[in-house]
Amino acid sequence: MALGEAQALAGEVSPFGIKVTLMEPDAFSTHFGGSSARFAAPLDAYAPLHEAMGDFQGALQSGGDPVSFAAVVLELVDLDEPPLRQFFGPEPLNTMTADYEARMATWRAGQDRAIHANA
C-alpha cells in the first residue's frame, strides 16, 4: 500500500475508530530466497539484475531481527495515536528523505508556473 492509499484509508476509517499505519521495514535476517528457494537457470540478459539481487540477498542475511520487529508492531497496535507511517531500520528513512528532497526540488522549480496558472 502506498502512502497516498494509506492516507485515504486512514481518513475513511477514522470515524469508526480504526487507525492505519503504513509499515516500511528494512531488510530482515531471514532465509528468504536462500537455501529453501528454487531458481531457474539464469539468462545472461538478466546478469545486472541477478547481481543486484545478490546484494539484496546479502542485506537479508545481515538485516534486522524479525522477532524484534514483531514486538514493535505489537507496541504500535497498542498506541492511542499510532503514526500514519513507521519506518523500521536505518535505510527506509534515508531513502524517503532523499525521495522527498527530490520531490521538493521539483515542486519548487515549478512553483512559478503553479502561481501563474492560479492568477
What's the average pLDDT block by block, 10 residues per block, for the chain (119 residues)?
87 96 81 69 86 67 79 95 91 89 95 89
Contacts 24+ apart (CB under 8 A), 87-92: 87/24, 87/25, 87/26, 88/23, 88/24, 88/25, 88/26, 88/64, 89/25, 89/26, 89/27, 89/63, 89/64, 90/26, 91/26, 91/27, 92/24, 92/25, 92/26
pLDDT of 102 reads 96
- Assess whether 54 and 25 both reside in one domain: yes
Please give the residue range of the domain that contains residue 104. 89-119
Are 30 and 67 spatial neighbours (Cβ–Cβ below 8 Å)?
A: no
| Same-domain status, 98 and 58 | no
| 13 and 68 within one domain | yes
Predicted local distance difference test score (pLDDT) of residue 112: 92
Count of the separate structural domains present in the chain: 2
Cα separation, 117 vs 41, in Å, equals 55
Same domain, 69 and 94: no
Q: Are residues 58 and 111 in the same domain?
A: no
Of the candidates 69, 119, 61, 114, the one whose C-alpha atom is nearest the C-alpha of residue 92 is 69
24, 69 contact by CB (below 8 A)? no
The pTM assigned to this predicted structure is 0.63
pLDDT of residue 80: 95
Return the pLDDT at 24.
87
Residues 69 and 113 in one domain: no
Q: Are residues 61 and 9 in the same domain?
A: yes
